[in-house]
Amino acid sequence: MLVADNLVKTFVKNEKRGRKAEFNAVDGISIKVAEGEIVGVLGANGAGKTTLLRMLGGLMKPTSGEVTFLLDGEQLLDELKIKGQIGYLSGNTKLYGRLSTRELLSMIGSIHGLDNPEIEKRIDEISDVLNMGDFIDNRIEKLSTGQTQRASISRCLIHNPRMYIFDEPTLGLDIISSSAIIEFMKKEKKSGKGVVYSTHYMEEAEYLCDRIVMIDRGRIVKMGTLDELKTETGKENLREIFGSLIDSKEALYE
């Protein structure tokens, strides 16, 4: 289980007259993501989704608060050990174009501490699951968008993590590629993995998420299952709930 306790991330903005203004991109968020559930993080642009997920994945250090990982009852505090249990994917993470997918996977595998036979075994398994046999030895820069997306996902799988963090993974993808990712997340959830992911697509979140976290200006506005949110707000669907909770104009202006 991934546990975030009262996370705050402060950035410094340059303002007039050389003054520096501090603002909290994430302002005291606490969430828990358990194995076997999908948690969706929803919010307007600039709400703090990416910063939150980066802190959960250990890419950024929180200004205050702490991220821990409960692995079979044992609490992991070390950032590197936590990273070892997480597969992080974002829409704009690129892969090393001059390497082949196989080279990339074996590099990442050995960084995660797997030995060579184990890495080869995993690569074969993943290649089967994601159907990458045709292009696994081609340079990544030569791959099509869909193939690159599969290579990206394979990168998160190689070390068989307990938890996935996906930052807008379907952003800008066509229906086939995005549904592949959505189905992948469902399948991983069934096999007992936890997923926390952010998106702009309400229908996708409705279809996929066990719990939904709505954030605005770095704070949680509402958190719960879809049904809970519906009864609490009295709205029909997620889009309306979102509209009622977050004054979109103001949020976008921020």
Partner 1 sequence: MNSRVIKSLYKKEMLDVLRDKKTVVMMLVVPLVLYPLVMILSLQLMTGITKSITTSTYRICLDFEGSGEYEELFRNLSDKEYSFEIIDCDNPISAMEKEEVDAVIKMDLTSGMECFEVLYLSSVNKSSYCADMVSDTLQAYSLELTKKRLENAGLDVENTLNPVKVKFSDRSTNEETAGSMLGTIIPFMLVMSLLMGTMYPAIDTTAGEKERGTLETMLTLPVTNKELITSKFLAVGTIGIVSAVLNIISMAGVGAYMYGMVASVVTNGGKIRLSKFLPAILVGILCIFAFAVFISAISMCVCALAKSYKEANNYLTPLTLVVMFASFIGFIPNVTLSTNTAIIPVANICLLVRDLLAFKYDIGMIALVLFVNVAYGVVSVMLLARIYNSEAIIFGDGSGGIQIFEKRVNIKKGTYPQVQDAWLVIIITAMLVIYAGGAMQMKAGLYGLLATQLIIFAVPFGFACYTKKDIRATFKLKGCSPKYFVAAVFLIIGGIMVGMVTSELSAYLFKSSAVDAAESMNDIIGDRFLPALLIIALAPALCEELMFRGYVLGSMTAKYKMNSAVLVSAAIFGLYHMSASKFLTTTILGVLLCYIAVQSGSILPGMLMHFINNALSCIVMFYPEKVSKLLPIIVKDRVSISDMLLLTAAGIMLILAGVRIGKKTSVVNNEKV
23 near partner 1 (CB under 8 A): no
How far is it, in rounded angstroms, from Cα 22 to Cα 198? 25
**Contact letters (x/-) for partner 1, 150-179, by CB under 8 A?**
-----xx-----------------------
88 lies in the binding site for partner 1 (CB under 8 A): yes
Q: How far is the CB of 151 from partner 1 (least distance, A)?
A: 11
Is 13 an interacting residue with respect to partner 1 (CB under 8 A)? Answer: no
| Encoded tokens for 152 | 């990206």
CA distance 69 to 40: 19
Residues in binding contact with partner 1, number by CB under 8 A: 39
Asked if 93 interacts with partner 1 (CB under 8 A), we say yes
Please pick, from the candidates 13, 73, 98, 176, the single residue that binds partner 1 as defined by CB under 8 A: 98
Which of 84, 48, 23 has the alpha carbon at shortest distance from 213?
48
- Asked if 40 touches partner 1 (CB under 8 A), the answer is no
What does the alpha-carbon distance between residue 228 and residue 119 come to, in Å, rounded to a whole number?
Answer: 43
Contact characters 129-148, partner 1, x per CB under 8 A: ----------x---------
Token pair 């030895």: residue: 137
Q: How is the beta sheet containing 86-90 ordered, strand by strand?
A: 86-90, 163-167, 194-199, 38-42, 211-216, 219-224
Q: How far apart are CA 193 and CA 195, in angstroms?
A: 7
Binding site for partner 1 (CB under 8 A): 14, 16-18, 20, 57-61, 79-81, 83-84, 86-90, 92-99, 103, 106-108, 110-113, 139, 155-156
